Amino acid sequence: MRYIPEPFKIKMVEPIRMTTEEERRKLIAEAGYNLFSLKAEDVYIDLLTDSGTNAMSDTQWAAMLTGDESYSGGRSYYQLLDNARELFGYEWIQPVHQGRAAEKVLFPVLIEKPGQFVISNTFFDTTRAHVGLAGGRPVDCVCPEGLDSMHEAPFKGNMDVGRLEAYIDELGVENIAGIVMTITNNSVGGQPVSMANMKATAEVAARHNIPLVIDAARFAENAFFIKSREEGYADKSTREITKEFFSYADIFTMSAKKDAVTNMGGLLGVREEGEHVPDVRSLVISSEGYITYGGLSGRDLAALAVGLVEGLDEDHLEYRLGQVAYLGARLDEFGIPYQRPAGGHAIFIDAGKLLPHLPWNGYPGHALAVELYIEAGIRGCDIGSYLMDRNPETGEEQQAPLEFTRLAIPRRVYTQAHLDVIAEALGEIKKRAEQVKGYEITWEPKVLRHFTSKLRPVD
């Protein structure tokens, strides 16, 4: 595919400051070789995350002007409630300021005693951290195809249902607080989960009376993958697919800063209001704000109400997934290895394969991300062993199954020309790949270390 049909036109632009390679070498060193510590103004193409970095529509901006800023019972809250209940079919919907806030108030309620396990197709960093902070123990259970970056399969984000059953038998059902289905599966490359796999996982959860939670940050992308790839769903709308998918779970958490195309916001939903809701509601009030605003302004609630609907627009989703696929096709021209097929929100470069001379504890994913910034001012991030916090029991480093550099593409922000620059910059790095140095950490916090650690190159 040599072009991307973009279902929008540009009304306003933001200038980007250009830097030299010499300047970038100095800037990344001053940032302790941590890409999160760079100033955004010193970045040319920012692919650090697709969370909250999207371009909102004129309809969303117009809705913000009518946002109701009442402390309790504002109109914007009820507009959001109506849209969310219609899309997901859940009785109780709680707005929060972002996805990790939903995790922060859910997992202390779900995990009833220290040491309980929570099993996921793969946890992303904040979810894994909040399980641990609540006293739980996260366990990843992705299908085998998800761990082979060069293997082409339509649903590489799936839960390994057989292994899930084995974990339940081994650990004991009383020691499992919940099962989490992450859609799309971020840590293995933005790979989708099939409806069949969701049904099978739900059957296991229901049979053992274990709560099933959807980490729904990229629910719309997952729905479009199902429509495009799964038998029996081509004629169903993404709204119909979304409602069916969510019907198999009990709870969902959502960072609305992704597929709801907002700059701030999140949701927590419970399908049938029951035993968990009063405790969660109390935690929301004590940590997020009153339940009808949940840490958000009325204008943010209004933008979110619109964005939930717009994010499921099929023209938008075809463009969205097509943009990532286009970048993947350009990388094929340069022989750059990545998690195949291209994911929904990002390209995950297999840095372990591109930089085979670096050991896993030299953080190949991070090393490639730093090199890409030096080469062209492009900011990505590690999704590999650097992302993994130390084992909380032993203090030892943990090796990730794959060493990825994630290039997350914000929605409606960058053009095809920007994607061409990314591909060509990676092509240049490949020519000198054996010269890329690994990194070691000189300082790190106890939790979520990749956000604030300091590093240095290893000679």
Q: Which residues are catalytic?
A: 71, 124-125, 215, 217, 258, 450
Structure tokens at 140: 């990843």
Structure tokens at 394: 């032993």
Q: How far apart are CA 308 and CA 262, in angstroms?
A: 9
* C-alpha count within 13 angstroms, C-beta hemisphere, residue 193: 36
Cα–chain-centroid distance for residue 224? 16
Amino acid sitting at position 449: R
- Determine how many CB atoms are found less than 10 A away from the CB of residue 89: 14
Amino acid sitting at position 381: C
**Pairing relationship of beta strands 454-458 and 438-443 according to DSSP bridges:** antiparallel
